[in-house]
Amino acid sequence: MKGTLRGAWIVFLKDARSEFRTRYALSAILLFAVASVALAGFVLRGAMLDERQAAAVVWLIVFFAAATGLARPFVQEAESGTELLLRQAARPEAVWLGKFAFSLGLMAAIELIVFPLFGAFLGVDVRRPGWLAAVAAAGAVSLSGATTILAAMVAKARARSSVFAVAALPVLLPPLVLLVEASGPAFGVSVGAGQPREALLAVMSYSGILIVLSWFLFPGVWEE
């Protein structure tokens, strides 16, 4: 286990250094997030979203921003031709864990960019920021856990970004619906007692299932 954690840390550092040199994923995410929020503000023309609409729109922006950048950890291996070297240098479990940690960092960056911009540009009032932070953390784990193995599967496709977005949609649709429901109270949505907590627990359960399945299935996908 110690060797797996050490290998995962090395994979994570490699991807982080590569990203800081090129800033490809961060630039794509930032551009999409700013453009999406600005476009939403332009279309609405000063009209206010109600609380449920705000929760839905912000998570849709997070999802599509993630789709532009979360495939990058494996796409760069395919583009640079380093897949074979990485297979020989690290165990599949270490590769998955390192890529997952990097994707989780990108998801945190996406949420740190999108949520403040969304609130500032569209004038959305966050009434329970602590609850929103908890839901956002669960969402980051869920989305990055699902997309890590999906990115490995589509890395060899020609239109990688398009294939990744299409493949990710059915897998991420259930947690997205639950995240919208769970984050509703943070924007002032009136719901029954316990419903947001149940939705958050459902997201965490779904995330756990995805992560466990990815952990066991990744060696077969990676070494194929």
- In whole numbers, what is the pLDDT of the chain averaged over residues? 78
> What's the confidence (pLDDT) of residue 190?
67
Q: Which two tokens stand for residue 133?
A: 């932070």
Q: pTM for the whole thing? A: 0.83
Q: State the residue for tokens 């070297």.
A: 85
| Residue with the larger pLDDT of the pair 161 and 212 | 212
Residue 98: what pLDDT? 86
pLDDT at 224 (0 to 100):
65
Lookup: tokens for 13 = 């550092």
Q: What local confidence, expressed as pLDDT, does residue 80 receive?
A: 67
Query: Which range has highest mean pLDDT (9-23, 78-92, 98-112, 148-162)?
Result: 98-112
pLDDT exceeds cutoff 60 at 193: no
Structural domain that includes position 98: 2-222
> In the prediction, which pLDDT does 79 show?
66
* CB 218, CB 93: distance < 8 Å: yes
Reported confidence tier of residue 18, pLDDT bands at 50, 70, 90: confident
- Lowest mean per-residue pLDDT among 25-29, 31-35, 56-60, 75-79: 75-79
**What is the total count of domains within the chain?**
1
Is residue 143 pLDDT above 70, yes or no? yes
Ranges 81-85, 142-146, 149-153, most confident? 142-146
Using alpha carbons, list the distances in angstroms from residue 71 to 7, 166, 169, 219: 20, 12, 13, 18
Q: Above 80 in pLDDT, residue 173?
A: yes
**How far is CA 131 from each of CA 134, 136, 166, rounded to the nearest angstrom?**
5, 9, 30
What pLDDT is recorded for position 41? Answer: 75
Which residues are within 8 A (CB) of 11 and not within 5 positions of it... i.e. 6 or more apart?
Answer: 86, 90, 94, 95, 97, 98, 99, 102
